[in-house]
């Protein structure tokens, strides 16, 4: 009985010592826990066998015909293997962790880690690591200025890059309620991130849902691209209006003058129309291909003024696609819509990552958030 107690105490001491050392020299404490247990198990197994000193002593003793007992400690070996198995199991469990990037930019602020949201999405609480980009206080504090915009842009870029680095070996997810221009900008910083899961908020049910992998039996509604009847081939600027959740109204675009308008829209835009990753991927590629094709009809194109009514998953996906195709796209300026404002799109930001002024504020005369 005493022997078992001593073995147990030794195991605990070894684990604690290794854990303390690893916490001092490394940042990822949860991954280190599994490594600590595995290391302790291996150490215990190795120490259970006779060492060189015992073997040499035994050989010398046998020459003088002195009996020296050298035995393996089978209990320590068994405990060591149990620790190794436990460590491997814990490592697999840690690998199943999911990182969620959540953007707070508007008045609504909902954390995925809330108990109700965890239950609605059928997630495991301790496996969820949520990273929040919160710029609500900056955004809603009066008219947009260059200084405010720069604070938001710097924060989005910095935290997206940190999220991308931290989540490389894990499942990555996205959700958010933030202005479209800044969500697209965030996407341009996540192009190398393995972002595969998306959570959307359904207001009618007051809960989140996750996009499915595939459409299922019922195929999604197609997205249509419509060019103006008269194409001004010498144009350097055009408007691209994307309507998925609401229809972008032409009277709201008077601030852009007589620029050609390219419409990309659903027949019946509505909330929560996107239900699968397959649908999201399809819509993203249609928009990307349409913007890439603009130069075929407008050889002198320099800028695309992008206005949209779209969910957050589309915004982030477009940003990722824009970043991956940056050399084939004109400069893209994404605008923020304010229903009560005149003009309706008071400002935009440049979301082309090849430009030195990526994230730069584009103000509209008379614009006010």
Angle of helix 180-188 relative to helix 146-166, nearest 10 degrees, comes to 40
Q: Which residue has the higher pLDDT, 56 or 311?
A: 311
At residue 143, the pLDDT reads: 87
Q: Is the pLDDT of residue 27 over 50?
A: no
Q: Is the pLDDT of residue 145 over 80?
A: yes
| Rounded average pLDDT over 122-128 | 83
Q: Residue 323 — pLDDT band, cuts 50, 70, 90?
A: very high
Q: Which residue has the higher pLDDT, 43 or 28?
A: 43
At residue 73, the pLDDT reads: 57
| Rounded average pLDDT over 328-336 | 94
| Rounded average pLDDT over 68-83 | 59
| Rounded average pLDDT over 84-96 | 60
At residue 24, the pLDDT reads: 42
Q: Which residue has the higher pLDDT, 336 or 5?
A: 336
Could you tell me what percent of the chain has a pLDDT over 90? 51
| Rounded average pLDDT over 89-114 | 77
Q: Which residue has the higher pLDDT, 252 or 19?
A: 252
Q: Which residue has the higher pLDDT, 73 or 113?
A: 113
Asked if the peptide bond before residue 318 counts as cis, ω within 30 degrees of 0, the response is no
Q: Which residue has the higher pLDDT, 302 or 218?
A: 302
Task: Please give the mean pLDDT across all residues of the chain.
Answer: 82
Lowest mean pLDDT among 26-40, 107-121, 176-190, 314-328: 26-40
Lowest mean pLDDT among 33-37, 278-282, 365-369: 365-369
| Rounded average pLDDT over 242-252 | 96
Q: Is the pLDDT of residue 189 over 80?
A: yes
Say which DSSP state 282 is in: H
Region of residue 270 (phi > 0: left; psi between -120 and 50: alpha; otherwise: beta): beta
| Rounded average pLDDT over 150-173 | 90
Lowest mean pLDDT among 148-152, 161-165, 246-250, 350-354: 350-354
Helix (H, G, I), strand (E, B), or coil: what is residue 174?
A: strand
| Rounded average pLDDT over 244-253 | 95
At residue 275, the pLDDT reads: 94
Residues 6+ apart with CB under 8 A from 246: 269, 309
| Rounded average pLDDT over 341-359 | 86
What CA–CA distance (Å, rounded) separates 104 from 100? 13
Q: Residue 100 — pLDDT band, cuts 50, 70, 90?
A: very high
- Contact (Cβ atoms closer than 8 angstroms) between residue 314 and residue 275: no
At residue 83, the pLDDT reads: 66
- Contact (Cβ atoms closer than 8 angstroms) between residue 261 and residue 241: yes
What CA–CA distance (Å, rounded) separates 208 from 109? 13
| Rounded average pLDDT over 75-95 | 62
* Neighbouring-strand partners of residue 116: none
């Amino acid at each position: 009985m005493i022997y078992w107690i001593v073995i147990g105490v030794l195991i605990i001491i070894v684990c604690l010592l290794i854990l303390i050392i690893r916490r001092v020299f490394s940042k990822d404490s949860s991954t280190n826990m599994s490594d600590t247990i595995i290391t302790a198990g291996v150490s215990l197994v190795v120490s259970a066998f006779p060492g060189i000193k015992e073997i040499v002593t035994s050989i010398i003793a046998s020459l003088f015909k002195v009996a020296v007992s050298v035995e393996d400690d089978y209990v320590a070996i068994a405990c060591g293997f149990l620790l190794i198995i436990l460590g491997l199991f814990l490592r697999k469990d840690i690998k199943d962790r999911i990182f969620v990037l959540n953007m707070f930019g508007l008045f609504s602020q909902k954390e995925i880690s809330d108990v109700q949201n965890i239950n609605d999405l059928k997630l495991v609480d301790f496996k969820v690591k949520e990273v929040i980009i919160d710029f609500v206080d900056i955004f809603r504090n009066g008219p947009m200025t260059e200084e405010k915009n720069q604070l938001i842009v710097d924060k989005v870029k910095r935290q997206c890059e940190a999220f991308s680095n931290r989540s490389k070996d894990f499942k990555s997810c996205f959700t958010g309620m933030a202005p479209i221009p800044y969500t697209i900008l965030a996407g341009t910083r996540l192009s190398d991130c393995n972002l595969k899961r998306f959570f959307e908020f359904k207001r009618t049910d007051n809960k989140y849902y996750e996009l499915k992998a595939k459409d299922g039996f019922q195929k999604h509604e197609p997205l249509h691209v419509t060019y103006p009847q008269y194409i001004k081939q010498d144009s350097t600027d055009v408007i691209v209006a994307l309507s998925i959740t609401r229809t972008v109204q032409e009277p709201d675009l008077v601030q852009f003058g007589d620029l050609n308008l390219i419409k990309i829209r659903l027949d019946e835009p509505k909330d929560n129309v996107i239900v699968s990753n397959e649908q999201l991927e399809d819509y993203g590629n249609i928009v990307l291909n349409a913007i890439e094709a603009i130069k075929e009809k407008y050889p002198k194109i320099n800028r695309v003024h992008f206005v949209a009514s779209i969910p957050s998953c589309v915004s982030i996906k477009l940003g990722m696609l824009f970043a991956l195709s940056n050399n084939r796209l004109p400069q893209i300026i994404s605008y923020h819509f304010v229903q009560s404002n005149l003009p309706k799109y008071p400002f935009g930001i440049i979301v082309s990552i090849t430009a030195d002024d990526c994230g730069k504020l584009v103000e509209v005369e008379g614009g006010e958030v």
